[in-house]
């Protein structure tokens, strides 16, 4: 029951009820409703803060999953960057070994130009647009760099195969095995011919050993001569290695001198004949020559780098024991 308020009316000398104007009553009711609404809203806010709706729970779960995927993506980008840097370092070192120029930095960087997909992303006004566009640009750049690196490695592979064939044909080993070698004459150039007794050019190296020890091809090639000659070399084998290189193996054994014939394809290290002293020779030995574009060059530079330190030391000792050629 509503309480009635009274006031003392001096004119009537009586208590009369207080009459509240309609406007005041309306304002009072309004403030009551406003207060009740605010209290209710505060209660609901507190409730939903501690008790999210199913939709909010789903959104929070999806956001958490997206955050995890984003972290994985950033980790993968970092990993690919590291792997690409390793590949580029290997590429650089291989180019040094193969004596090729390095790729210019601007080509390795693989700058990317306009991209329709990137422009489409920007046009969508996505949330977190800055982060998404930055990640996409990183991935696009990595894809371009990986493509360039793949093309570079393909080129190096083809070039290395060609170089491998080239090196297989270049004279690069001793024609006589170290264990069979007794003495070695490094004299190249003018010397006193031990048979004719006069100064003559000596355009090869002499390897001394026992009769019949094997003589080896020093590089891949084709035998162009394997027969007895009459110009002082005696039984002679000539191999054409291609690329302008030839080798000569002279004074081979009189009995069973050859292990190859003209036209044979030989491999480095293959036995082509046996040591002897045929032709104009002062003793058992192999006279070995290397020709580049049909001009003799000193063979010493074509095998000493292939020797291990112990073999090279022995070669020097054998050279000291005998410096006089035998033809």
| Percent of the chain topping pLDDT 70 | 75
| Percent of the chain topping pLDDT 90 | 23
CATH code reported for the domain at 178-321: 2.70.70.10
Report the SS3 class of residue 45: helix
Give the pLDDT of residue 305: 45
Lowest-pLDDT choice from 78-82, 124-128, 159-163, 200-204: 124-128
Q: How is residue 50 written in tokens? A: 């501690």
Q: Which residue has the higher pLDDT, 217 or 308?
A: 217
Average pLDDT over residues 227-249: 93
Tens digits of per-residue pLDDT, 100-112? Answer: 888 887 787 776 5
Average pLDDT over residues 290-302: 88
Tens digits of per-residue pLDDT, 239-273? Answer: 999 999 999 999 999 988 899 999 999 999 999 99
Distance in angstroms (rounded) separating the CA atoms of residues 229 and 97: 42
Distance in angstroms (rounded) separating the CA atoms of residues 13 and 33: 38
Identify the band that residue 119 occupies on the pLDDT scale cut at 50, 70 and 90: low
Above 80 in pLDDT, residue 227? Answer: yes
Integer angstrom CA distances of residue 301 from 49, 188, 201, 289: 86, 12, 19, 12
Distance in angstroms (rounded) separating the CA atoms of residues 75 and 69: 10
Above 60 in pLDDT, residue 277? Answer: yes
Q: What is the pTM of this model?
A: 0.55
- Orientation of helix 129-169 relative to helix 54-97, angle to 10°: 30
CB 193 within 8 A of CB 203: no
Total Cβ atoms within 10 A of residue 315: 19
Average pLDDT over residues 157-184: 85
Query: Which residue do the tokens 């806010």 mark?
Result: 45
Contacts of 192 (CB under 8 A, 6+ apart): 198, 199, 200
Q: Is 25 exposed, middle or buried (0-12, 13-18, 19+ CB in 10 A)?
A: exposed
Above 80 in pLDDT, residue 12? Answer: no
Which range is most confident: 15-24, 100-109, 119-128? 100-109
Distance in angstroms (rounded) separating the CA atoms of residues 70 and 62: 12
CB 243 within 8 A of CB 198: no
Average pLDDT over residues 169-179: 88
Distance in angstroms (rounded) separating the CA atoms of residues 138 and 132: 10
């Amino acid at each position: 029951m509503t309480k009635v308020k009274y006031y003392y009316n001096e004119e009537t000398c009586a208590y009369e009820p207080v009459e509240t104007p309609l406007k005041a009553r309306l304002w009072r009711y309004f403030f009551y409703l406003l207060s009740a609404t605010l209290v209710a809203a505060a209660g609901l806010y507190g409730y939903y803060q501690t008790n999210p709706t199913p939709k909010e729970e789903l959104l929070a779960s999806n956001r958490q999953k997206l955050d995890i995927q984003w972290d994985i993506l950033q980790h993968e980008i970092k990993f690919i960057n590291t792997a690409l840097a390793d590949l580029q370092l290997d590429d650089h070192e291989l180019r040094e070994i193969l004596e090729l120029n390095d790729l210019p930095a601007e080509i390795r960087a693989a700058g990317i130009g306009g991209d329709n997909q990137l422009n489409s992303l920007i046009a969508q006004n996505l949330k977190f647009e800055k982060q998404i566009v930055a990640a996409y640009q990183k991935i696009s750049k990595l894809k371009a760099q990986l493509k360039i690196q793949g093309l570079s490695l393909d080129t190096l592979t083809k070039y290395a195969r060609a170089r491998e064939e080239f090196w297989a044909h270049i004279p690069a080993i001793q024609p006589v095995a170290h264990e069979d070698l007794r003495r070695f004459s490094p004299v190249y150039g003018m010397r006193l011919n031990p048979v004719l007794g006069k100064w003559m050019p000596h355009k090869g190296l002499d390897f001394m050993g026992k009769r019949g020890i094997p003589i080896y091809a020093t590089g891949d090639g084709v035998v162009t001569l394997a027969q007895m000659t009459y110009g002082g070399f005696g039984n002679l084998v000539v191999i054409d290695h291609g690329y302008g290189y030839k080798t000569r193996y002279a004074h081979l054994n009189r009995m069973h001198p050859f292990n190859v014939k003209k036209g044979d394809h030989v491999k480095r290290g293959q036995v082509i004949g046996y040591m002897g002293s045929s032709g104009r020779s002062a003793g058992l030995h192999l006279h070995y020559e290397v020709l580049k574009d049909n001009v003799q060059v000193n063979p010493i530079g074509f095998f000493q780098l292939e020797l291990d330190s112990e073999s090279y030391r022995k070669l020097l000792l054998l050279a000291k024991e005998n410096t006089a050629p035998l033809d």
